[in-house]
Amino acid sequence: MTESEAIQARHSVRQYKAKAIEGDVAKQIEDKVAEVNAESGLHFQFLNDSGTAYTNLFLKITGLNSAPASIACVGKDSADLEEKVGYYGEKIVLFLQTIGLNTCWVGSFNKKRSEAEIGEGEKNVISIAVGYGENEGKAHKSKSVDQLVEAKADSPEWFNEGVKAALLAPTALNQQKFVIRLKDDDSAEIVSKGGAFTSVDLGIVKYHFEVGSGRKL
């Protein structure tokens, strides 16, 4: 499965099988996390036991406490940390989809009970639930291209493909609070409209756009 195929196939999953992530699969995740950390300077961590971080009432009600593992999205606190976490976290999410795992971005986990290592000056921004889903999740209704895109009618194919991938990006509460613009110089930009977790969302959307368009923003 390619990243583009993973974008099409991947949906948020909240109920997981009681099946541990072991052996070669666990090693592949550890290697991918190490690769992303080396590229980004972040401190993502694969926690092959969600421990007590997913035990609050909301996560029990939604079923997310059944996730056997998680990715702790940690990095040095900075103005662009949340966007970087979204961008590189989605890179890991799509990889996990390609190896047969399911995921869900989790903002309401218990940071005090997380087993993640938080270094001096670091922040645990968000968590990604990981496991073998009871199902593959389902697609959520998306806003229209007209609502999210500012571009000329005869937009280039690379831009249109990037938009298609960006519209499939997961965002907090499915709010899709971003705008994709085709600029006069035929480059693209994506900007956030602001709100809770929208900086993380922006990073996720940017990564999807780059995969779909084949171009860096």
**How does pLDDT run across 152-175, given as a tens digit for each residue?**
889 999 999 999 999 999 999 899
- d(CA 2, CA 154) in angstroms, rounded, equals 28
Sheet-wide strand order for 149-150: 149-150, 178-182, 188-192
Predicted local confidence at residue 60, as pLDDT: 85
Average pLDDT estimate for 3-22: 96
- d(CA 181, CA 203) in angstroms, rounded, equals 15
Residue 40 main-chain phi, psi, to 5 deg: -100, -25
Confidence of residue 180 (pLDDT cuts 50, 70, 90): very high
CATH of domain 3-131: 3.40.109.10
Give the rounded percent of residues in the chain with a pLDDT score beyond 70: 100
Residue 55 has pLDDT above 90, yes or no: no
Amino acid found at 174: N
Residue 51 has pLDDT above 80, yes or no: no
Question: pTM for this structure?
Answer: 0.95
Predicted local confidence at residue 112, as pLDDT: 86
pLDDT digits (tens, 9 = 90+) for 102-111: 999 999 888 8
Q: Which DSSP state fits 134?
A: S
Predicted local confidence at residue 49, as pLDDT: 85
Domain boundaries, the chain: 3-131, 145-213
CB 21 within 8 A of CB 48: yes
- d(CA 22, CA 41) in angstroms, rounded, equals 27
Predicted local confidence at residue 10, as pLDDT: 98
